[in-house]
Structure 1
Amino acid sequence: MLDPATDPLLDVLLHLLVAFGIGALIGLEREQSESAGTFAGSRTFPLFALYGALVALFFPAALPVALGVLVVPLTVAYVAKVWYRRDVGLTTLLAALLTTVLGAVAIHSPTGATVAVVVGGAVTVLLSVKDPIHAFADRIDETERRASAKFILVVLVVLPSLPDRSLDVLFGLNPRFVWLMVVFVTGLGFVAYLLGQFLGPERSIALTGIVGGFVSSTATTVSMAEKSAENETLYHVCAFAVVVASIIMFPRALIEIAVVNPGLLASAAPPLLVMTAVGVVAAGVLYWRTAADETVEPEELENPFRLRPALAFGLIFAVVLLVSEYANEWLGTSGLYATAFLSGLADVDAMTITLSRLAAEGTVSTDVATTGIVVAAIANTLVKAGLAWVLGSSRLGRLVAIVLGVVVVTGLVVLAV
């Protein structure tokens, strides 16, 4: 009896089946595409994948030549498509070449098969969301595109040129680390911003709160407070958005900790996750109490890829890093906690990254770093409650203050245990 785990023939056939499946998946998507159906579809793409797999299996050195040979008929078919249909799109042509390469990757090794499946699935999704992607691109105006391009250019030019060492002239700061953290934090917000733009103005209030929490929970809180002040009957749905945006800060902090100092996660995760869980339950209650006809227009969040806010965060982060080090050295733990609270009033990210870095260097203990991060998060949560109280309706202020107050008390209790 053949053993699938040890028989080489069955292993090869299994990898060929994976290649065939990837080609069939992409082919089915292309079959349904108006511009690609006559060029290549559900039968042709599996053949592309098998072609790449068989060449890579028996003639691996000839794979580049085989791809070159395939380009000839693809070019003829593409020219015919342009001639008869006046369609100059290259998507299907490139998808065909990529499918051939994925077939070769699938036959390479078990890891290659896994990579091919993941990439093949991603390609299928990308091909199938043509209209939403084009609609998203149309919603990004020229100003936003220029701002993003400038920021990315500055990142690519500045980051490699900064020295990766502590400089006395900067009071011992490492300029590359500071700028790298600026890029990281801004990138988190930008990913959420892109998600919000991609989903469009019809996204749900829950997604509005989540996206707003990653881009700017303060801006989301201010926006919802103003909406509740204009129409007090919306205080439930506005409170829901504020609470969601506020509690997103906790998992966001965990992401930052995981990047800067993964060893701190075991200590920081319990209080932050408990606070998140309490906030999620409270948000669920608020959503359940929200009437079906209570809706608010999602706020317009500013593109985080702007140079001035990024530089401002870099300055804040550098100052917080220096002050925290000196506060810990001169005043001990109490001075560090005071710095965490004051810093958290304005920005949690700077303090989270700072304490994660100090714990990684051994300057502060894991427990002190965890407490400081939670203190900063609590301070920022109190700010959100204060903004809702001052700028929003009285009902919104009371409701948000109660919910976020419970979250804060929960965090303090977990720290004390």
Structure 2
Amino acid sequence: MVDPVGDSLGLLVFRVAIAFGIGALVGLEREQSESGGAFAGSRTFPLFALLGALVQAFFPSMLAVVVVALTIPLTVAYVGKVWLERDIGLTTLMAALLTVVLGAMTTHSERGAVLAVIVAGVVTAILSAKGPIHGFADRIDERERRASVKFILVVLVVFPLLPDRELEVLFGLNPRFVWLMVVFVTGLSFVAYVLSRVVGAKRGIALTGVLGGFVSSTATTVSMAERASQTPSLYRVCAFSTVVASLVMFPRALVEVAVVNRELLPAVAVPLGAMTVFGSIVAVAVYRQAATTADVETEIENPFRLRPALFFGAVFAVVLLVSESAYSWFGSSGVYVTAFVSGLADVDAITITLSRLAAEDTISQQVATTGIVVGAVANTLVKVGLVWLLGTYQLARLVTAVLGAVSIVGLLFVVAV
């Protein structure tokens, strides 16, 4: 029989050692958190991992049988834990079974060993974050929970049913790609939303700007403008948070470009990176002049909502069609006009659209880069307009100076290149 990890005894020992380390890591967490109790701890979990590793290395066909057989004593131990400690949580039981599988992955292949280490780190982080996770769940009201469940169900049901090809009836659009981008953009916002809820209601102005910017820089701008109107003395604090929220839009765009068209990333990273760095330096100067350490808060809504997701999908589809047609009819100037108009409403749509068109060689990388910067500048101007409309004169003047300079820096970089 061929050794699945090769003929080297040293390599096998190394993989088994990795399995032992994974089991020890999970076991220590379970014991320190006192979640394992009498069920399993720092000694038992390494044994689980070693069992999986050795069975996979020498008796791979028996792995399923071993896991099923192990389930019996684990179930008995779990029942005893419930009886003695009155704790019906299944987390430790599931962690034990998962540790066996992770141990088996280490001796399955090199890729399996690497993935096992990564998964073990994630599992340990999840296990140790019991308090924050439960706190986050408790802070979500019933309306948000229903909205999230509805969105996730629609994603799981709709996505597999959408055809993965360009349809003439939709003017050449690929429905599955459009919906995939909706899920991707919403997922980015949801990650920041989860972090904002985990951190809690009271958080510093920098964190408010960063998290608010990833979820909705527009909502953060409106919130800061209203806060400055209520308390004019906080205009520098609110200006800092507004600027940071706007700056976060640029790294977010870079993430989207990296996912859709990695080859375009170096070209786009230059102007957007310059805008981010320059804006951050000026924002720090504004922060240092703010003679307060007050916390600020913005209302960040759960992005896992069906109606906004469908709206973004419609906007993205229209922008994709219009951008391609505009380039065919009017050349690069048509793309720039489309980028500016689209950027007034949503910078994500134009960023993904131009990245996609550049990947298909419909437009050049230079046109795509300039269009993305133009869309970002347009969206930045919207923030400036909202501050003038809803905030105080001092706040509007400061935000205009900073974001105006940031926009000029971005445009100069694309013109120079």
Q: Do the structures match in fold with TM over 0.5? A: yes
Residue of structure 2 in register with 1:266 after alignment: 266
1:164 aligns with 2:164: yes
Q: Deviations over 1:73-119 (max 9, x none)?
A: 21221111111111111111111111122222222333322222211
Shift in Å, 1:7: 8.8
Query: Which residue identity does 1:103 align to in structure 2?
Result: G
User: CA separation in 2, counterparts of 1:93 and 1:18?
Assistant: 21
Shift in Å, 1:407: 0.6
Note the 1:162-241 alignment, pairs <5 A: 162-241=162-241
Change (3 A) 1:46 1:164: closer
Residue of structure 1 in register with 2:87 after alignment: 87
Shift in Å, 1:221: 0.3
User: CA separation in 1, counterparts of 2:31 and 2:322?
Assistant: 61
Shift in Å, 1:320: 1.8
Query: Which residue identity does 2:404 align to in structure 1?
Result: G
| 53-62 vs 76-85, greater mean Cα deviation | 53-62
Shift in Å, 1:196: 1.3
Shift in Å, 1:216: 0.8
Query: Which residue identity does 2:193 align to in structure 1?
Result: Y
Shift in Å, 1:191: 1.8
Shift in Å, 1:414: 0.6
Shift in Å, 1:292: 4.3
Q: Report the aligned-residue RMSD.
A: 1.8
Query: Which residue identity does 1:96 align to in structure 2?
Result: A
Q: Identity, % of aligned pairs?
A: 66
The answer to whether the 8 Å contact 1:218/1:384 transfers is yes
User: CA separation in 1, counterparts of 2:63 and 2:7?
Assistant: 26
| 196-205 vs 135-144, greater mean Cα deviation | 196-205
1:356 aligns with 2:355: yes
User: CA separation in 2, counterparts of 1:138 and 1:187?
Assistant: 21
Residue of structure 2 in register with 1:321 after alignment: 320
| 367-376 vs 168-177, greater mean Cα deviation | 168-177
Residue of structure 1 in register with 2:101 after alignment: 101
Residue of structure 2 in register with 1:394 after alignment: 393
| 264-273 vs 111-120, greater mean Cα deviation | 111-120
Change (3 A) 1:81 1:343: same
Residue of structure 1 in register with 2:74 after alignment: 74
Shift in Å, 1:400: 0.9
TM-score, normalised by the number of residues in structure 2: 0.94
| 371-380 vs 390-399, greater mean Cα deviation | 390-399
SS at match of 2:294: coil
| 311-320 vs 138-147, greater mean Cα deviation | 311-320
Residue of structure 1 in register with 2:114 after alignment: 114
Shift in Å, 1:397: 0.9
TM-score, normalised by the number of residues in structure 1: 0.94
Q: Deviations over 1:122-174 (max 9, x none)?
A: 11111111111111111111111111111122222222223333333333333
User: CA separation in 2, counterparts of 1:7 and 1:171?
Assistant: 57
Query: Which residue identity does 2:129 align to in structure 1?
Result: V
Residue of structure 1 in register with 2:372 after alignment: 373
User: CA separation in 2, counterparts of 1:383 and 1:259?
Assistant: 26
Off by >6 Å, runs of 4+ in structure 1: none
Shift in Å, 1:376: 0.8
Q: Deviations over 1:322-356 (max 9, x none)?
A: 22222222222222211211211111111112211
Change (3 A) 1:339 1:84: same
Residue of structure 1 in register with 2:3 after alignment: none
SS at match of 2:384: helix
User: CA separation in 2, counterparts of 1:180 and 1:22?
Assistant: 34
The answer to whether the 8 Å contact 2:223/2:299 transfers is no
Change (3 A) 1:318 1:53: closer
User: CA separation in 2, counterparts of 1:211 and 1:301?
Assistant: 9
Residue of structure 2 in register with 1:3 after alignment: none
The answer to whether the 8 Å contact 1:234/1:295 transfers is no
SS at match of 1:248: helix
The answer to whether the 8 Å contact 2:237/2:292 transfers is no
User: CA separation in 2, counterparts of 1:403 and 1:350?
Assistant: 25
The answer to whether the 8 Å contact 1:351/1:373 transfers is yes
Residue of structure 1 in register with 2:27 after alignment: 27
Count of residue pairs the alignment pairs up: 411
Q: Deviations over 1:163-222 (max 9, x none)?
A: 333333333333332222222222221222122122221333222111111111001000
User: CA separation in 2, counterparts of 1:291 and 1:41?
Assistant: 51
SS at match of 2:76: helix
Structure 2 unmatched ranges of 5 or more: 1-5
Residue of structure 1 in register with 2:149 after alignment: 149
Q: Deviations over 1:229-255 (max 9, x none)?
A: 110111121111111110111111111
Residue of structure 2 in register with 1:337 after alignment: 336
Query: Which residue identity does 1:295 align to in structure 2?
Result: D
Note the 1:243-262 alignment, pairs <5 A: 243-262=243-262
The answer to whether the 8 Å contact 2:347/2:375 transfers is yes
User: CA separation in 2, counterparts of 1:124 and 1:111?
Assistant: 20
Note the 1:303-314 alignment, pairs <5 A: 303-314=302-313
The answer to whether the 8 Å contact 1:226/1:392 transfers is yes
SS at match of 2:399: helix
| 136-145 vs 315-324, greater mean Cα deviation | 315-324
Structure 1 unmatched ranges of 5 or more: 1-5
SS at match of 1:300: coil
Query: Which residue identity does 2:383 align to in structure 1?
Result: K
| 8-17 vs 387-396, greater mean Cα deviation | 8-17
Residue of structure 1 in register with 2:13 after alignment: 13
User: CA separation in 2, counterparts of 1:55 and 1:364?
Assistant: 54
User: CA separation in 2, counterparts of 1:318 and 1:212?
Assistant: 26
User: CA separation in 2, counterparts of 1:254 and 1:35?
Assistant: 41
Change (3 A) 1:7 1:364: closer
